[in-house]
Structure 1
Amino acid sequence: MSSASFLRLICLAAIWGGSFLFMRIAANTFGPAYLIEFRVGFAAISLLIVSLFLRKRLAFRQNFRHFMIIGLFNTALPFLLFAYAAQTLNASTLSVLNSTAAIWGALIGIFWHKATLTPKASAGMLIGVVGVITLVGVDAINIGFNAALPIFAGVMAACSYGIATNYTKTAPKIASFDNAHGNMWAAVLIILPLLPFIPMRGEPTQHEILAVIALGVICTGAAYLLYFRLVADEGAASALSVTFLIPVFGILWGWLILDEPIGWNTIIGTTLVLSGTMMVTGFSPSRLFARKMAAEQP
């Protein structure tokens, strides 16, 4: 991996890790529906500006069904669930729950595509589950009964990403930028009818408004552009490594900015979840580095 790609990888992990921080800041005032409508709205507008600059025409009507499916499971539903959970759970907990999406993808693939799991992947799934229990168990004790639904929402958000991953394996072949652009506009349409039923919970401060703008423009719109550049330059396998860096930054930002505690359960739970995810996906940083070094030799 080149130094420029490595820098993009770190920036992307820091940005996506920061998304849970911004949600934590704004969720209690905006409420889930308005928070995510603003998030996907700002992201869609940002990607529209980029598409106009690049002269990329989005075939939204021709691929309406596809964009609505991916917009629901890859964006609207998980974003709403995480926004609901962010009203109660720490940013660090949310970021680690997010990293279980790969485990959910493998589990759903067993039933959807009749995929099989190796003994190593099965063990990794079990380790990941133990990690989640370790992480959220202490949080549930500290918060009380009110933590049950937010924790379930965070788990289901990761599950939704797993559904989206399996859907894309048989979905129409559309350019990744168009997928990002189209699914954001689809998410805008999906969430819009919810606004009258899930109102804002208060008058947002300037600080909270800036958090929402950053969430949409930086953590969604700009992050997608970074991700697609990384995939184009280094391949999907290298880009996958961002999954394992996001919780590091989610925990770091929560500790630095929101004074969230880092307890033994955070460290142990995060380690177990990331180790289990690597076993399920077969991702190995050392093996990836070795392949890159071999490929760069003359």
Structure 2
Amino acid sequence: MTARGWFLFSLMGVLWGIPYLMIKVAVEELSPSMVVFARCALGAALLLPFALRQGGLTRVVRAHWKPMLAFACIEILGPWWTLTDAERRLSSSTAGLLIAAVPIIGAVLARFFGDTERLGARRLTGLGLGLGGVAVLTVPHLTGGDAWSLTEVLLTALGYAIAPLIVARHLKAVPTLQLIAPCLTLAALVYAVPAWASRPSVAPSPQTLVSLAGLGVICTALAFVVFLELIRETGPTRAVVFTYVNPAVAVAAGVAFLSEPLTAGIAASFALILAGSFLATAGPAGRSSGTRLVGKGRPPFRGEVTSTRDARRCDRHTSE
């Protein structure tokens, strides 16, 4: 993976590792619909002006409205509500830990739908190590919530795994802002009425307001721009591997802000998760068998065979 890919990957591990803590704070006083509405409305308010300034937004939406609608439903409308609702009963760290199933689901779905992105032994080993680290972190926390809440988080993970495939297959030509801004606007409109119906009778506390602002500005507007750039840089399967880092960030936030214990098991899982992330996002070990290197740092000599296609061409000219 390129240096730019690693930067985006590391940034996403933080940007989508801290929302669980913010959601947990917000749902103590607000309904899930209100939290999702505020998050989407803030994100849309920040990104929509820039998307409009690029020009051609209406044309883009008309040309790609079907996959954009699918992306909005599978990435935002459904998963954000189920995740937020689940955190009314689950701890923030437990939610973050379960979301780490996204890379495994994404890898399975990519192969099931015939994705050409190769999963070699090194990347499969990385996925396995990451899953092992997630298991070490998850098991002690699974007693904190009911079965439906755990199901809601797993449904969220399923949506998070499918959405990048939609982007990679149908929306790569759509500029990032012109994809995210309309989707967030749609989600805000959908949740506007439920949010109004469940509005609190008293003003939220400063902690809740700060959490909502963080969710909208940092974890939505900024994070989505980085996320789509990461998909375009590394592909859909590698892009979601940053969710292996999310549990580490979620646990660290719990230790720092909620005084949760930092055990030896958690420290061991950090190493597994980071090692798994590195291996799972690694590029192929070498070039394909159809291409032969002609010398590092120099162009091929005139007439030199550099690929299988060139070899066939040479054979054809020889026979003539």
Q: If the length of structure 2 is used for normalisation, what is the TM-score?
A: 0.70
- What amino acid does structure 2 have at the position aligned with 1:207? Q
Q: Which residue of 2 aligns with 1:32?
A: 32
Residues 32 and 81 of structure 2 are in contact (CA less than 8 Å); yes or no, is this contact kept in structure 1? yes
Letter in 2 for 1:91: S
SS of aligned partner of 2:90 = coil
- Output the amino acid matched with 1:76: L
- Answer whether contact 1:29 1:200 (CA < 8 A) is retained: no
Show the counterpart of 1:99: 100
- Rounded to whole Å, the distance in 2 between the matches of 1:101 and 1:195 is 28
Work out whether residues 92 and 254 of structure 1, in 8 Å CA contact, stay in contact via their aligned partners in 2.
Answer: yes
Please give the residue correspondences for 1:1-298 in structure 2 after superposition, counting only pairs within 5 Å. Answer: 10-55=10-55, 57-58=57-58, 59-113=60-114, 131-141=133-143, 143=144, 146-172=145-171, 173-192=173-192, 194-195=194-195, 199-200=198-199, 203=202, 204-227=204-227, 235-236=233-234, 242-268=242-268, 282-284=280-282
Cα offset for 1:44? Answer: 0.9
Q: Is the 8 A contact 1:99 1:273 kept in 2?
A: no
Consecutive unaligned residues in structure 1, runs of 5 or more: 288-296
Runs of at least 5 residues in structure 2 that lack an aligned partner in the other structure: 286-296, 299-320
Native 8 Å contact 1:103 1:125 kept in 2 = yes
Aligned CA distance change for structure 1 residues 97 and 114 (closer, same or farther; 3 Å):
same
Aligned equivalents of 1:124, 1:10: Cα separation in 2: 16
The answer to which structure, 1 or 2, has the higher relative contact order (CA under 8 A, 6+ apart) is 1
Per-residue Cα deviation, 1:177-231 (whole angstroms, up to 9, x for no partner): 322222212322443464477x357742122012102210121112233455667
Give the deviation of 1:35 after TM superposition.
0.5
- Note the aligned Cα RMSD (angstroms): 3.8
Alignment-mate amino acid for residue 79 of structure 1: W
Q: 1:201 to 1:265 in 2, by over 3 A?
A: farther
Is the 2:67–2:166 contact (alpha carbons within 8 Å) kept by the matching residues of 1?
no
Q: Counterparts of 2:18 and 2:28 in 1: how far apart (Å)?
A: 17
Q: Which has the larger radius of gyration?
A: 2
Supply the distance in 2 between the matched residues of 1:88 and 1:178 (Cα, whole angstroms).
35
Displacement of 1:29: 1.6
Structure 1 pair 86–100 and aligned structure 2 pair: CA distance change class (3 A): same
CA contact (8 A) 2:130 2:275 kept: yes
